[in-house]
Every structure is written in structure tokens, then in C-alpha cells.
Structure 1
Amino acid sequence: MKLCPKCSRSPLPFVMVVLISSVLAFITWLVLGLSQIEPTVRLAAGAAVFLAVGGTLVHYVITCLKRHCRHDHEHQQVQHGQTFSRPA
């Protein structure tokens, strides 16, 4: 999955993915702390939630960046050696 060079420069969407995944993993860890589950199982469940949510959100972010790229035509033209001619 290659992204447009202009669109892939912003780290903000990926920072948001890490933030959301971390919050949900922490909430899972806290909720499991109310039950009689061992700490290693709590950590494993929190890590599993982090990976599952993070993987899903990264896939969603990359798909949205590719779908809503405004530089797509410029990137394809340079790649194929084509140029647009504007009617006057």
C-alpha cells in the first residue's frame, strides 16, 4: 500500500491511532482488574486489545488516506509520464 508522498508526511492520524488504542487497552486492563484474573492474563488481554484496535484503525486510516488523496492525479501522471492539458 503506497501512499502519496504528500499525504504520508503527516503523523497525526497515526498518533491518534496509538492514543485511541492505548486508552482502550488501559480501560480493558482496569476492568479486568475488578475480577479475579491473574496480572499476566490482564496484561495479555490489554495487549491483545491494543493490537486488535490498533491494527483495525491503521487499516482504516490508510484506506481513508488513499481514498481521499487530492494529489492522486498528480502522482499517477508523474508515474506514467502523462500530463493534463487544460481547455482554454
Structure 2
Amino acid sequence: MELTREVLDCMKTLRRKIREEQALDIRMSQPDAITAMLSACLASSDEEIRRLGQRLAQFSERPFERGEERAAKVLQPAQPPAAPAGGSVRIYRGQRVYA
């Protein structure tokens, strides 16, 4: 996703409103900032926050969905990447490194 001025303005406004309403601090530098903002928008009762969330979802080309569909995706366990055949796996700073 390309971070244009319009996208960044939307994210800044949304971040400020989410912080005021839900006391949730989302940093723009977080790798999952957009996902966290969209999740907070779904939990919000403020219509303007929901509208900004829909706009951000359009910019990021991610679905803005509610209820059971979203819960099913969140509750699915993540599959760890398969180790290459014949290689060893080391852990470096919490990340898997295939040697």
C-alpha cells in the first residue's frame, strides 16, 4: 500500500479519535498499525470513527468486516513456516533464521 498524504491524514485523524474514545495508543510506526486501527474502528460506537475506518480500509484494500467472519479469521492459528529440507533452524532476536 502506498502511503499518500490522504492516507496519512486519515490515519492521524483516526489515531487521535481512537485515543480519545478508547484510550488506545496506536503508533504509526507499528507494523500492524492499520490492522489495529481497523479493529478499533469495529469496536467503536462513534459513527465518524467507523466512517474513517471504512475509508482507511478502502485505501489499504483490506476488508472492513464485522462479527463472525472477522472472529473466524482472528481465531485461526497461524501456521509456522516450514523449515527447508536439510537445513537447520536458529532463533536470532526472536526470529527464525534458516541456516
Structure number with greater Rg is 1
> 1 or 2, which has the higher strand percentage?
2
Query: Same fold judged by TM-score > 0.5?
Result: no
TM-score if structure 1 supplies the norm length? 0.29
> 1 or 2, which has the higher helix percentage?
1
TM-score if structure 2 supplies the norm length? 0.27
Higher relative contact order (CA 8 A, sep 6+): 1
